[in-house]
Amino acid sequence: MKLIKISIAFILLLSISLQSCLDLDPKADLAETNLWKNAEHYRLFASQFYGWTRDFKSMDASIHWDGRSDLVTASTTDIYSNGTNTIPISDNDIIPYKDIYNKIRQANILLEKSESYAIPTDIKTYVGEAKFFRAYLYFELLQLFGDVIIVKKTLDITSPELKTARNPRSEVVDFIIEDLQDAILKLPAHKTISTSEAGRVSSEAASAFLSRVALYEGTWQKSRNNETRGKALLDVAAIAAKDVIDSETFALFNPEELGTQSYKYLFILENVQSNPANIGKTANKEYIFARRHDESINAIGYNITKGRFANSGVNFITRKMTNMYLQSNGLPVNPSTWDYSKMDSEFKNRDNRMTNSLMVAGKTYWSNAGARVTWAGDTEDIASAAIKSLNPVYGSGYQNQKWATERLVADTREGYDFPIIRYAEVLLNYAEAVFERDQNISDEDLNISLNLVRLRVNPDMPKLSNNFVSVNGLDMRTEIRRERTVELFDEGFRLDDLKRWKTAEVEMPMDLLGVKWLGTEFQTKWPNVSYSKNSDGCLILETGRKWEQKNYLLPLPADQVQLNPNLGNNPGWN
């Protein structure tokens, strides 16, 4: 599959320095040039949009990273995770207010120029892309700030919009939905995108993203007692997700040859051998829209394997995360009675996603430096391994392997794709939207959505059903949310989920814990551990965390409020 090629010279012309809180170009800017004479000009201009999406590096630098949630921490505490962040003076990676409006302006330029194009059908796809990416950017603003200024046109330095107040979030969401619904009509179906254009956004991707947006805001409103508005948005989410399901275009990555390790190898697929079955990216029908990489043409350029593989500094998996993995019988573990006596005992008889994502004491593991040789797990393979018998007595005691390659490749040169939207999320969006909309969900709806995700690498696990929930005294909402958390771990959803569910005020202040140390094998093999222990004998990685109501939204940068006093700032940040 061919990567999108962007005319660098053309895109560089777009980078004229920008001047105000809504990021104007000077009047004599690109929009007044002669670069809009044919459809190819629109295609090239739209190609810049693809550099705006989440990727490995930008995800870790953003507020969305799971390391800023309750699932992962590091040797250095994070101010956004523990609630001690303050108002920034100007844009940064976490609060990129000005940068996002700069990008919105580029989308608006294309849309404005398209209005006078002689043959609209020739540029319909690129108009659809502009609508999709404008919606993508406004959803980012919504998640960060709530109320924001809606800008539908390019502005000049005298435009009154530069000093306007922010639009309420309800108007912002309606604007995003309108853009996405228009994009769905204009973008090509996934199956009709040519090989030379592979990787460009499809109508199904717009529907999938619509399900994400509407689920987010639907649950945000419902959890804040706006039932009518919430249910209307949840209906939009359910319909959009079902449209993707009914298209029969995508499927969970689950090749028989990889068996119960399909989840693990999904995230490190490359165009060279990257798994024991030598299955490549063409077999992956799960990624609906992805940031595409290739070792030779467009490597990741970020130390993803070294940053994730058994990392002892920045990737401390918490006990809360490990306790979310179900038993193999489909029931939650009871931490007060579960077997933690050995370093590997809590991994036994669990959801296979646990060992697909985390590392087990005593097992062999390969990385980009200690790589696979035969891919057979034989003597030669083991001799080459980075870790021949894991001794997890560092960090939190839990070690990660998700996103870490097993093949020999130079640091930062991995070539696997980053899933911006994958089919598993859409299936989980559907299940949650239906349940939250109707206060119940049928077994049939569970079977076409959540259970496909649950059983991918757990073929013998009981399905989630109404009877299973009832007989075992479970709560359907809790189990739906559990499946989402486990499946989408370390993909940048957890903190946003806690915010929309309005449970961050409960979950985020909790102490972040590591392994159970007291009375276990860890106490013997890790006698010099420096962490304090709680009353259950678990390592305390971080304590004294807080979460105030103001933390549900971020503060606008101080320089933007100074430029436009009508912006105000979010509650609690004045």
Mean per-residue pLDDT of the chain: 93
Q: Provide the token pair at 551.
A: 């933390």
- pLDDT digits over 479-519, tens only? 999 999 999 999 999 999 999 999 999 999 999 999 999 99
DSSP per residue, 243-289: HHHHTT-------GGGGGGHHHHHTT--SS--STT---GGG---EEE
Residue 33: the pLDDT is 56
List, in order, residues 6 or more apart from 241 with CB less than 8 Å away: 207, 208, 211, 426, 427, 429, 430, 433, 449
Q: Decide: helix, strand or coil at residue 566.
A: helix
Contact assessment for residue 172 and residue 148, using Cβ atoms and an 8 Å cutoff:
yes
The rounded percent of the chain whose pLDDT value lies above 90 is 91
pLDDT tens for 258-287 read: 999 999 999 999 999 999 999 999 999 999
- pLDDT at residue 311 in the model: 81
Mean pLDDT of 227-243: 98
How is residue 117 written in tokens?
A: 């194009």
Output the CA torsion sign for 395, 398, 402, 408: positive
pLDDT in tens, 424-461: 999 999 999 999 999 999 999 999 999 999 999 999 99
- Collapse the DSSP code of 539 into the 3-class scheme (helix H, G, I; strand E, B; otherwise coil) and give the result: strand
Q: Is the pLDDT of residue 406 over 90?
A: yes
C-beta atoms surrounding 313 within 10 Å: 11
Contact call for residues 56 and 63 (beta carbons, < 8 A):
no
Which of 43, 49, 182 lies closest to 106 in space, CA to CA? Answer: 49
Question: Which amino acid, one-letter code, is at 125?
Answer: T
Number of Cβ within a 10 Å radius of residue 442: 13
Instruction: Give 318-384 as a DSSP string.
Output: -HHHHHHSPBTTSPPP-TTTS--SSTTGGGTTB-THHHHHEE-TT--B--SSS--SSSS-SHHHHHH
Q: How far apart are CA 527 and CA 511, in angstroms?
A: 22
Reported as a single tens digit per residue, the pLDDT across 140-161 is 999 999 999 999 999 887 888 8
Mean per-residue pLDDT, 59-84:
95
Q: Three-state SS for 514?
A: strand
Q: Chain-centre distance of CA 74, in angstroms?
A: 19
pLDDT value of residue 19:
31
Tens digits of residue pLDDT in 209-230: 999 999 999 999 999 999 999 9
Q: Any residues with CB less than 8 A from the CB of 312 and at least 6 apart, and which?
A: 75, 394, 395
Query: Is residue 8 predicted with pLDDT exceeding 60?
Result: no
Q: What is the DSSP letter of 190?
A: G
pLDDT tens digits, 22-64? 433 333 344 445 689 999 999 999 999 999 999 999 999 999 9
And the tokens for 116?
Answer: 């006078």
- CA 194 remoteness from chain centre: 27
pLDDT in tens, 121-137: 999 999 999 999 999 99
Domains and CATH numbers, the chain: 8-187 (1.25.40.390)
Give the confidence band of 327 by pLDDT, cuts at 50, 70, 90.
Answer: very high
pLDDT at 156: 81
| Residues of the chain above pLDDT 70, percent | 94
Condensed to tens digits (0 to 9), the pLDDT of residues 183-209 reads 999 999 999 999 999 999 999 999 999
Closest CA to 518 of 543, 541, 539: 539
Q: What is the rounded distance in angstroms from the CA atom of residue 47 to the CA atom of residue 309? A: 33
Cβ-contact 349, 327 below 8 angstroms: yes
Confidence grade of residue 17 (pLDDT, cut at 50, 70, 90) = very low
Does residue 18 have a pLDDT over 50?
A: no
